Amino acid sequence: MRIVLTGGVSGGHIVPLIAVAGKIKEKNPGAEFLFVGPQGELEERLMSATQIPIKSVATGKMRRYFSWLNFLDVFRIPFGIVQALWILLWYMPDAIFSKGGAASFPVVLAGWLYRIPIMIHESDANPGLANSMLGKLSTRVAVSYASAQIYFPAEQVVLTGSPLRPDIASGDAQKARTLFSLHESKKTIFVWGGSQGAQVINDKIITILPELLHKYQVIHQTGINNFEAVKHKAGELGIKAGREGYFPVAFIGEELKDVLAASDLIISRAGSSSIAEIAANGKPAIIIPLDSSANGHQRMNAYAVAKVGGCIVLEENNIGNNMLREKIDEILNDEALNAKLRTNIKNNFYHPEAAERIAEGILGMIK
């Protein structure tokens, strides 16, 4: 059995692909996988760790706004389709599992032309342009949010939640405390801007960092490209990395589960995988959606969680320093609010069976 995995650009796309592949492997030990998608350091690192081979294709983003990059992508997209046609002809998989998005468009289109069964996973509350198109080419569609079901044919779509790495809810808080020299007597804030980091969140946290460190300790995933700048800004405030309760890190990998277990509050973007991982650990969260996310999907994700009382949402363009600090204090000092946020996000957005159900759906397409 051969299955192609496609998606990419962010950890939120790649980790679910790996989680589902693991479940398929449990059910069919002889299954083989090939990742076909954009070439990048993140894809290489995560796929190599699971020994899934990679074939790269050119990808382009389908933007609904003016950008000079649109002119370049006019050529990249058809070139990527030709590459995908050649790779699939050579490999000829039994099925394709796509995490969706522009990065998977060439592969899904090529697979549709070859009449290969395709399942896509829509992780956001409101599908983007690429997935709205890819849904029409797919055999089945899995979604993370109930609100996304209306965008796909009823006979084609199923609500599964977001597939996660199997150990994400079983972290060891003590390991994180040892790794970062955390004190059990102080509450821990995890600032998590996703695999690429978040400049706006970084800036807001650094601004109020001296005040936070009087009461709390902070683990701060800055993003690889932002790490040195964040350390420098903290240094200008007299705060040294790794001391005084401040622990910046460029990227958190396998130790993520331990960091989540040790955290008392998470400040995060509104990527669907991040929300699902927070929910799996039942942690209170302040969600700051990316204002420029395609089709406003991060705002939709964030407010879907807030609607059931599962998080506090702050808009990045309206966050004052006092507002962010006050919300942090409120959540960490109001036990009733803290318990409400923990319970509601876990009960509504943690689907431990998601990878299993998607794996069964993919195997069910293969005749």
Q: What ranges make up the beta strands (E) of the chain?
A: 2-6, 32-37, 54-56, 95-98, 118-122, 140-143, 157-159, 188-192, 217-221, 246-249, 265-268, 285-287, 312-313
Q: Answer whether 91's CB lies under 8 Å from 111's CB.
A: no
Q: What is the pLDDT of residues 322-361, one digit of tens each?
A: 899 999 999 999 999 999 999 999 999 999 999 999 999 9
At the topology level, CATH places domain 173-349 in Rossmann fold (3.40.50)
- Of the chain, the end-to-end C-alpha distance in Å amounts to 11
Q: What is the pLDDT of residues 12-29, one digit of tens each?
A: 678 899 999 999 999 999
Phi, psi of 74 (to 5 degrees): -55, -30
Which of 133-142, 195-204, 220-229 bottoms out in mean pLDDT, i.e. has the lowest?
195-204
Residue reference for tokens 């046609």: 85
Q: How far apart are CA 166 and CA 210, in angstroms?
A: 37
| Residue 247 reports pLDDT greater than 70 | yes
Q: Answer whether 210's CB lies under 8 Å from 290's CB.
A: no
- Residue 154's SS3 state is coil
Identical fold at 2-164+352-365 and 173-349?
yes
Higher-confidence residue of 39 and 286: namely 286
Q: Answer whether 234's CB lies under 8 Å from 209's CB.
A: yes
DSSP 287: E
Q: Answer whether 121's CB lies under 8 Å from 100's CB.
A: yes
CA angle, residues 114, 120, 125, in degrees to nearest 5: 150
CATH class of 2-164+352-365: alpha beta
- Residue 354's SS3 state is helix
Spans of all domains in the chain: 2-164+352-365, 173-349
DSSP 215: T
